Amino acid sequence: MIKISLKDGAIKEVEKGISILELAKQISEGLARVATAAEVNGEVKDLRYILEEDSNVNILTFENDLNGKKAYWHTTSHIMAQAVKRLFPEVKLAIGPAIDEGFYYDFDVEKPFTDEDKKNIEIEMKKIIKEDLPIERFTLPRKEAIELMKQKNEEYKVELIEDLPENEEISFYKQGEFTDLCAGPHLMSTGKIKSIKILSSSGAYWRGNESNKMLQRIYAISFPKASMLDEYINLLEEAKKRDHKKLGKELELFMISPEGPGFPFFLPKGMELRNVLEDYWRKIHKKNGYVEIKTPVILNEELWHRSGHWEHYKENMYTTKIDDVDYGIKPMNCPGGMIVYKNKMHSYKELPIRAGELGLVHRHEKSGQLNGLFRVRCFTQDDAHIFCTPEQIEEEIEGVIKLVDEVYSLFGFEYSIELSTRPEDSMGSDELWELAEGALKRVLNKLGREYELNEGDGAFYGPKIDFHIKDCLKREWQCGTIQLDFQMPERFDLNYIGEDGEKHRPVMLHRVIFGSIERFIGIITEHFAGAFPTWLAPVQVKVLTITDEQIDYATKVKEELEKREIRVELDSRNEKIGYKIREAQLEKVPYMLIIGQKEKEENTVGVRSRKDGDIGAIKFEQFIEKVEKEIKNREK
C-alpha cells in the first residue's frame, strides 16, 4: 500500500500500481467523469499515470485549473490534426500545443486553409469525437522514434526528436489511425471532448524563426458543455466591440504608424488619459513614501554585463555606438536605479528607500507578435526599486501588496496571485534563493492570500509574485509584479552603513503595478469599452449649443469648467442638436450640457449623463458641484 496526500489535506491509502483514473474513481465517480489530468508531486501527469510510491496528488478538471483545461485542449489539438490528415493526407504536422485560451496546430500545407476548409475540418473533428477513439500512450527509444516519424514523412517531428537528449525515451499518443509525437497529458478517449469551434487561421514561422518556412496555424477552442462554448463565443463578440485598437482610433487616443511599427503615437486625447493615470500614480506613491527618479534611456554595454542583462536578455535589446563605444538601449530600469542608489553612501536610518520611476524602455519584439498597445517595442514601466535591510523585507512586500489592492480596486479589477520560483538560468546561491522564496511565501500566508505556485518561472535574479487582474470579460492580464533580489546589490556592490558602523548589503525589491502604462491603457480601454469613468475620461464634459444665439453663454460655461480643471469641449457648429448629441455619445463623453435659449436666460444647463440619461435642466453651479465631487472621489 502507498499513501496519497490529496489537495484538501486528506490522506488516502491505495494499492501500489493504481492509476490516477482509478484513484479518482475511488474518491468519487463524479470526479472520475470530469477529471482531465493530475498534478503528482507538482508535475502534470496523465490520468493513465501509475502511482508507485507515496505522493502528493491533485486531480485536475476543466473547471478547477488551467492545467486541467490544457489537457482537454491538447487532446482536442490532436483531434484537429487527425481531421486535417484525413482531409489533406499530404499535409505535414508541426506542433499543436494548448495555450491559455484554447489551442492551435501548425501545418505545412501547399496553400492557406480557406473558410470552407476550416468548416470541413470542424465537421471531421466532430466525427472523430463521435467515434470515441481510445487514446493510447507509448514510448520508443530515440532511434526507433526517428524511424517511425521518417516512415510517416513527418520531417518536423524528426527535427524535434533530434533536438531531445540522446538517452531519453520518446513518448507518442495514438488514437485510431493517427499517431503524434507528444509529451502529453491527454484524456482517455476522443469522446470526452464535447463542444468545439475553429476560431481563426494565420501564418506562423516554424519555431517562430523568420528565416524558417511559413506554416499555416489554426486556432480553436473546446469545452465540456455547449453552454460554455456559447458563452465564450458571446464574449469573443463583445471583445471585438471593445478592441482597444478599434476604440483607440475612434476615440482618437493613439495610433501606430508604418514609420514606427511597435512604437505607439499618443494623440491629444490619449495624452489626457495617460497624464491622468500618471498623476494618480505620482500622488499615490508620494502618499506611500516613494520618491521619484528618472534614469537615462541609453547606458554603456559594461553596465548591462554587470547587471546580467547582456547574458540573459541581449537578444531582446537594441544597441548603438557612441564615440566608438557600445551602448545598450535599456530594456529595464533596474540598473539605472542601482546607479542612483550608489550615488552616495546611505545609512540604515535612511532605509527603506522607495524610488519610483516612470521609465521608458525598449525591447525587441518580432513583427508578428506586435498587437496595438498590448505588445509594443517601447513602453513606460511604472517601476519602483525598494532598497531595504533584510529585516525590512517582509514589511515592504506587505506594503506593496496593499498598494496593489488600492490601485486595482479603483478600476474594479479582481486579481489572482502567482508565485514564481528559481529558474534554470538563475544567478546566486541556493541559500539566498531559499531565503528569498521563503520571505514571499510568508507574507502571502500572513495576509491570507491564495496563490498558485509556478515552479521555475522566476526572474534570473530572484523569485517573484505576479498579479493577474481579471477584466469584465473574465480575461486575465499579468500586470503587477514584486521581485525579490539579492543578486543585483551584490553585482553592483551596493552598501549601507549599519547600526554597528560597518558596511552591509541592502536587499532590493523590484515592483510594478500598472506594468506598462501603454498596455494598461489598452486593458482599461477594453475593460470600460472606451466609456472611462468621469475622473479618467479624456473629455469629461461636452457643451452643445442649439443655435448660434447661445454661443456666448456656452463659451462662459466652458471657460468656468476649464477654471475648475474640468476637461471640456464646446460644440457650437451649425448642426442639428440631435446630430451633436449622437456624435458626443459615440465619443463616450460622460456628460453633455445642452444649451438652448431657456438655459441661457435662466443660467442653467440641460444635462445628459452617459450613465443616467437625460437628467434635465439644473443650475450650472449645481452641475459643477456634482461633477467635481465625482472626479475628486474617482467614482467608477
169: pLDDT strictly greater than 80: yes
Q: State the pLDDT at residue 591.
A: 97
User: Taking the CB of residue 184, how many other CB atoms lie within 10 A of it?
Assistant: 19
Cα(240)–Cα(250) distance, integer angstroms = 14
Cis peptide bond prior to 423, omega within 30° of 0: no
Catalytic-residue membership of 388: no
pLDDT in tens, 28-80: 899 999 999 999 998 899 999 999 998 888 999 998 888 999 999 999 999 99
C-beta contacts of 367-371 below 8 A and 24+ residues apart: 367/261, 367/262, 368/203, 368/204, 368/205, 370/261, 370/262, 371/245
Q: State the pLDDT at residue 153.
A: 92
Max mean pLDDT range (394-398, 426-430, 435-439): 394-398
Q: How many CA atoms lie within 13 A of 116 on its CB side?
A: 0
Catalytic-residue membership of 369: no
Mean confidence (pLDDT) of the chain: 93
- Region 397-401: mean pLDDT is 95
Q: Tell me the residue type at 36.
A: T
Q: State the pLDDT at residue 621.
A: 94
Catalytic-residue membership of 472: no
Q: What is the CA radius of gyration of the chain?
A: 29
Tell me which of 242, 269, 285, 334 is the catalytic residue: 334
Tell me which of 82, 216, 381, 483 is the catalytic residue: 381
Which of 266-280, 383-397, 420-434, 532-546 is predicted least confidently?
420-434
Distance of CA 452 to the CA centre of its chain: 15
Tell me which of 274, 285, 354, 510 is the catalytic residue: 510
- Region 540-559: mean pLDDT is 95
Q: What percent of the chain has pLDDT over 70?
A: 100
- Region 590-607: mean pLDDT is 95
Q: State the pLDDT at residue 302.
A: 92
Cα(521)–Cα(320) distance, integer angstroms = 30
Q: State the pLDDT at residue 387.
A: 96
Q: State the pLDDT at residue 64.
A: 83
pLDDT in tens, 93-124: 999 999 988 999 999 998 999 999 999 999 99
Buried b (16+ CB within 10 A) or exposed e, 384-414: bbbbbbeebbbebbebbbebbeebbeebebe
Q: Tell me the residue type at 145.
A: A
Quickly tell me which residue has 451649425 as its cell.
Answer: 574
Q: State the pLDDT at residue 307.
A: 85
C-alpha cell belonging to residue 429: 546561491
Q: State the pLDDT at residue 631.
A: 96
Cα(532)–Cα(277) distance, integer angstroms = 12
Q: What percent of the chain is helix, strand and coil (3-state, nearest 5)?
A: 40, 30, 30
312: pLDDT strictly greater than 80: no
Cα(489)–Cα(495) distance, integer angstroms = 8
Q: State the pLDDT at residue 1.
A: 83
Tell me which of 363, 375, 511, 567 is the catalytic residue: 363
Catalytic-residue membership of 383: yes
Residue 518 near residue 549, CB atoms below 8 Å? no
Split at pLDDT 50, 70, 90, the class of 208 is: confident
Q: State the pLDDT at residue 368.
A: 77
What backbone torsions phi and psi does residue 580 show, to the nearest 5 degrees?
-65, -40
Helix or strand holding residue 23 (H, E): helix 20-27
Specify the pTM: 0.83
Cα(408)–Cα(404) distance, integer angstroms = 6
Split at pLDDT 50, 70, 90, the class of 383 is: very high
pLDDT in tens, 560-583: 999 999 999 999 999 999 999 999
Collapsing DSSP to helix, strand or coil, 220 comes out as strand
Q: What is the DSSP string of 480-544?
A: EEEEEESHHHHHTT--EE-TTSSEEPPEEEEEESSS-HHHHHHHHHHHTTT---TTT-SS-EEEE
List beta partners, residue 216: 107, 203
10: pLDDT strictly greater than 90: no
pLDDT in tens, 483-523: 998 888 988 999 999 999 999 999 999 999 999 999 999 99
334: pLDDT strictly greater than 80: yes
What backbone torsions phi and psi does residue 308 show, to the nearest 5 degrees?
95, -5
CA–CA distances in Å: residue 127 to residues 120, 233, 345: 11, 22, 72
Q: State the pLDDT at residue 488.
A: 86
User: Taking the CB of residue 149, how many other CB atoms lie within 10 A of it?
Assistant: 25
pLDDT in tens, 173-198: 999 999 999 998 999 999 999 999 99
Tell me which of 65, 117, 383, 485 is the catalytic residue: 383
CA–CA distances in Å: residue 422 to residues 117, 175, 208, 338, 458: 45, 37, 26, 22, 5
Catalytic-residue membership of 464: yes
Split at pLDDT 50, 70, 90, the class of 166 is: confident
Q: State the pLDDT at residue 427.
A: 77
Catalytic-residue membership of 511: no
Split at pLDDT 50, 70, 90, the class of 4 is: confident
- Region 420-438: mean pLDDT is 85
308: pLDDT strictly greater than 90: no
CA–CA distances in Å: residue 200 to residues 125, 157, 169, 217, 237: 15, 24, 35, 8, 14
Q: State the pLDDT at residue 501.
A: 94
Catalytic-residue membership of 323: no
429: pLDDT strictly greater than 90: no
Which of 16-25, 112-121, 128-137, 310-319 is predicted least confidently?
310-319
Q: State the pLDDT at residue 315.
A: 86
Cα(370)–Cα(242) distance, integer angstroms = 18
Q: State the pLDDT at residue 12.
A: 85
C-alpha cell belonging to residue 304: 548591462
Largest CA distance in the chain: 92
For the chain, list the domains and their CATH numbers: 2-61 (3.10.20.30), 67-240 (3.30.980.10), 254-527 (3.30.930.10), 541-632 (3.40.50.800)
Tell me which of 74, 217, 242, 385 is the catalytic residue: 385
Q: What percent of the chain has pLDDT over 90?
A: 81
Q: State the pLDDT at residue 313.
A: 81
